[in-house]
Each structure stands twice: as C-alpha cells, then as structure tokens.
Amino acid sequence: MMVAVEHHAEALQEVASPPALAIDGVSHSYGPRRALADVSLSIPPATFVVLLGLNGAGKSTLFSLITRLFATQHGQISVFGHDIARAPGAALRRLGVVFQLRTLDLDLSVMQNLTYHAALHGIGRRSARQRAKDLLARVELSDRGDDKARKLSGGQMRRVEIARALLHRPRLLLLDEPTVGLDLRARADILSYVRNLVAEEGVSVLWATHLIDEVSEADTVAVLHHGRLLAHGPAQDVIAAAGARDIGSAFARLTEKVTGPPEKPA
C-alpha cells in the first residue's frame, strides 16, 4: 500500500531543481536473501524525511547503496541529479553521512578527525581548520577541539560526527540511527540541531530511525518494512491513510499486515 501525496511547496521546488535524493525502483539481495524490494523514494530540497523501520527493515542496506559501498543491483539512485553509479564523485561530494557505527578515530583529537575528513574531500589544512572551528562552535564543542575523541561522551561524539559530515558543505545529509545509545537529552539536542539545518539552511535530511517518537507531525515519513516501502508522504497523510490516531499506531498497522521477508522471485 503506497500513500501517494501531492505537496504543493515541494512540487514547486522540484520543478526548479532536481530532488536532493531520488531513489528509483531499487532492489537488493544478499545471495538469496532479499534486503530491498523495489524501493522508490524522493527527497525534495530542504526537507526532513524520516526513514522509519525496525531493525532488519533494510535501512542500512539502503544507506550502503546511497553511499556506494556497493553498487545498486536494480534501480537507480541520484543525488541532486547526479547518478551514483555513473557519476559517483559528483554525487558523493554533495552528500554528508553519519553512519550508525561510531566512526571517529578515538586516538586522534577532534580537530585531527575533522581535518582528516576534510582532506578526503580535497579541502586544505588551513580552510579545513577554519571550517571545523565554525562547525564545532555550532555543535557547542568549541573547547573540545584538542581533546582526544576518546574523551567525549556518546552525544558529543555524535555531534562531532555531524559536524564532520557537514565539513564539505553537502546539501544532503544522511543519518543512520544517529540517536541510538544516547540519553534523552542528547537525543533531543541532536534532533533539534539537525532540524535547524533543514529549516535555516535548506539542507535536505534523510534520518533513519526505529524510534517513533522522533517523528514530528510536519515531517515527511517513509516506512520501510522487510525491504519494502509501505508508505511515503507527510506524516499526517500517512496517519490518515492508515486510519490511525498517531504515527505510532499508523506504523503498527502498516507493519502488522506484512509478515516475513519477501522472497526473491526465481
């Protein structure tokens, strides 16, 4: 069941520029196990999209495909109109990622972690340091630049990872379960910081989570379950289409109908 929704403001923007992220008919299998089945999803510029799914729904697989850890077997993915398979460089430089796993170098300082990442994007030491300082200030970690990453709390590490993902000024930010393992306060901080990026700077965000309470009424929601996209649209429309009171019960209704992973057709 797919909820197709017209959204006027978004429709206008789409005419002007290609979507931040366009996923078109993507399927993926690990051997006989099918992880994604015909997933299509589009993120207009300056939108916050929550990719909602339980563990094993295929969220990380989708992220691996978008970041080109491995190639798409079926379907197409493009970032601001740049096909990830044909023009990976152009697509990846417009993309910032926060992985589910912690990926900071614990033995290096926060600043060293950031300048390393900048170098991977061809940004020189001097401008990288300046940019890193600005971003650290924005995630309220200005005074921690010289500390070893090991000394940071989980929430602080996540904030550094978000700053790192923004170093090369991407216009699309992907976050894979960014709040897992954080306390309530840190979760709220990170969520509101990323929401601000969308509202104030026009960054597009794909936020993957299994935590229903991270969805707000104004968000666009994509529900992924057993590799299939069950619903996609503004949260209110998804709730209405499912005949539910809130997103939590809408999610429960949508997912209870589907049992067992889809089999790969022979």
Partner 1 sequence: MSSDTVAPAPRSGFSPAQYAICLNGIVWRETLRFLHQRERFIAALVRPLVWLFIFAAGFRQVLGVSIIPPYEVYVLYEVFITPGLVAMIQLFNGMQSSLSMVYDREMGNMRTLLVSPLPRWYLLSAKLVAGTSVSLLQVYTFLAIAWLWGIEPPLIGYLAVLPALILSGLMLGALGMLLSSVVRRLENFAGVMNFVIFPMFFASSALYPLWRVKETSPVLYWICQFNPFTHAVELIRFALYGQLNGISLAVVCGCTMLFMVGAIVAYDPSRGFLARRGGPGETA
Residues near partner 1 (CB under 8 A): 30-31, 33, 35, 53, 55-57, 59-61, 64, 67-71, 80, 85, 87-95, 97, 99-103, 105, 107-108, 112, 115-125, 134, 138, 166, 169, 171, 176-177, 196-197, 200-203, 208, 210
Q: Do residues 77 and 65 make contact, with C-beta atoms less than 8 angstroms apart?
A: yes
Single-letter code of the amino acid located at 125: R
Task: Tell me the closest approach of the beta carbon of residue 80 to partner 1, in angstroms.
Answer: 8
Collapsing DSSP states into helix, strand and coil, what is residue 95?
Answer: strand
Task: Tell me the closest approach of the beta carbon of residue 16 to partner 1, in angstroms.
Answer: 13
Q: Do residues 20 and 44 make contact, with C-beta atoms less than 8 angstroms apart?
A: yes
Closest to partner 1 by CB, 70 or 151: 70
Burial class (CB in 10 A: 0-12, 13-18, 19+), 91: buried
Closest to partner 1 by CB, 84 or 239: 84
Task: Tell me the closest approach of the beta carbon of residue 22 to partner 1, in angstroms.
Answer: 16
Closest to partner 1 by CB, 144 or 168: 168
Radius of gyration of the chain (CA): 18
Task: Tell me the closest approach of the beta carbon of residue 236 to partner 1, in angstroms.
Answer: 26
Task: Tell me the closest approach of the beta carbon of residue 5 to partner 1, in angstroms.
Answer: 25
Containing H/E element for 11?
helix 8-16
Closest to partner 1 by CB, 7 or 68: 68
Single-letter code of the amino acid located at 126: R
Any idea which residue has 């109109």 for tokens? 81
Q: Do residues 168 and 96 make contact, with C-beta atoms less than 8 angstroms apart?
A: yes
Closest to partner 1 by CB, 162 or 241: 162
